Amino acid sequence: MSKPLVNKRKIFNDPVYGFISIPDESMFDIIEHPVFQRLRRIKQLGLAHLVYPGALHTRFHHSLGAMHLMKKALAELRIKGHEITREEALAAETAMLLHDIGHGPYSHALEHSIVHQVSHEQISLWFMKLLNHTFNDRLQMAIEIFEGKYKKHFLHRLIASQFDMDRLDYLKRDSFFTGVSEGTINYERLLNMLEIAHDEPVIEYKGIYSVEKFITARRIMYWQVYLHKTVLVAEYMAIHLLKRAKWLARNGKTPKAATPALQFFLENDIREDQFIQDKTVLNTFAQLDDYDIFTSFKLWTNHPDKILSHLSNGLVNRRLFRIEMQNTPFAEEKIEQIKKQTAKKYHLSQEETDYFVFFEKTANYTYHPGNDKINILFKDGTVKDITEVSDQLNIHLLSKPTTKYFLCYPKEIAHHIPE
């Protein structure tokens, strides 16, 4: 008697693209793995939901969407005569699926506070190697593509460049869930105009206006969503909160965290070499998600340490600090005055005041000059950078970063500060 067939062809109903199919069993096995399922418990936009209530979509959503766009891009290139084997397509789609698997909860806050100088890209690679071992080297080509070591370099560029499937998905998805319609892009038009020249992805000339819209949408989304001043103040409050928790843990005043996983990273000074040398570090990181962090914030609202409790209450109940943002650095006199008023009101030492008053700067390139270009392909085979051929984009604006300075402090002392 023959074994019954098990149908592992799965379909996800995605609110952005409709149905996303996972026809390959090996890819479905990867999605089912706990390391990937963890992405369901990590919001794509961190604390942006405090500004845009709909921004509750997850890294899981985004990873599937980016994989879906990769599949469509490769299908388009095949139609245009480029040889991409089934094995290469599956490897590229797998690499795209896993490109963000190394993100932690509230990723940027985590990278700046409880782990030191370890990027999510590096952790993604370690997770991919872990899965490769689990699945008997089935991910070897995917890893080579992810690292840019595979012979067909354009496959890597579709994963990581100024025009890649990662950016294409997160702009479309994030504008959808935030409701920021200015960030909407015509991803279908862009994919239909995709070509390969000199082993690099390019866009056919007739798609130039869609590229201009893509670049403009990215600029708008950065300043209206990703670097929105309220999102920034919430993120930096989280950074300072986790730094305080780590300081307490390292000085024998361990705050009771919600889970052993978070406690581990609070009590230990984790760096890149420890991830490599000790497998338990990566396994412990795989247990971290948004629930660890936010449950801890809730517990810490009643903590005896006034800094920990005040910052926790602010994030849990959306009582955020005031933030001022401008194009030039803040005067030292103003910063010192705010620190003095804050220290007096909350009875803080000079070191403690730094948790309540902080000033930073943030910068963003609309289009980063250099080797990583968005190239336009002309009918005669000529390839030129978008900045050379666009009559709509301000080249001076594109090639320089926009830098903004911001100053954060408790709203309760705002009326003591002269404008």
Answer yes or no: are the C-beta atoms of 70 and 92 closer than 8 Å.
Answer: yes
Residue with tokens 């354009």: 154
Q: CA 345 to CA 321: how far, in whole Å?
A: 15
Looking at residue 21, its amino acid is S
pLDDT at 151 over 80: yes
What is the overall mean pLDDT for the chain? 91
Tell me how crowded residue 317 is: count the other CB atoms within 10 A of its CB.
9
253: CB partners within 8 A, 6+ apart: 305
pLDDT at 254: 66
Q: CA 392 to CA 380: how far, in whole Å?
A: 23
Structure tokens at 119: 């990027």
What pLDDT, in 10s, does the model give residues 281-320? Answer: 999 999 999 999 999 999 999 999 999 999 999 999 999 9
Looking at residue 52, its amino acid is Y
346: CB partners within 8 A, 6+ apart: 306, 310, 352, 356, 410
| Section 235-260 average pLDDT | 86
Q: CA 259 to CA 102: how far, in whole Å?
A: 19
pLDDT at 1 over 50: no
pLDDT at 75: 97
Q: CA 207 to CA 186: how far, in whole Å?
A: 10
Structure tokens at 49: 């939901």
Query: Could you tell me the pTM of the whole model?
Result: 0.93
Of the CATH numbers 1.20.1340.10, 1.20.1250.30, 2.60.120.260, 1.10.150.20, which one belongs to the domain with range 229-320? Answer: 1.20.1250.30
Ranking 75-79, 111-115, 245-249, 294-298 by mean pLDDT, the lowest is 111-115
pLDDT at 32 over 90: yes
pLDDT at 82: 97
Range(s) of the chain covered by CATH 1.20.1250.30: 229-320, 321-365+401-419
Q: Is 318 left (phi over 0), alpha (psi -120 to 50) or beta?
A: left
Range(s) of the chain covered by CATH 1.10.3210.10: 10-227+378-390
pLDDT at 88: 98
Of the CATH numbers 3.40.630.10, 1.20.120.1690, 2.20.25.190, 1.10.3210.10, which one belongs to the domain with range 10-227+378-390? Answer: 1.10.3210.10
Confidence of residue 414 (pLDDT cuts 50, 70, 90): low
Of the CATH numbers 3.10.450.50, 1.20.1740.10, 1.20.1250.30, 2.40.110.10, which one belongs to the domain with range 321-365+401-419? Answer: 1.20.1250.30
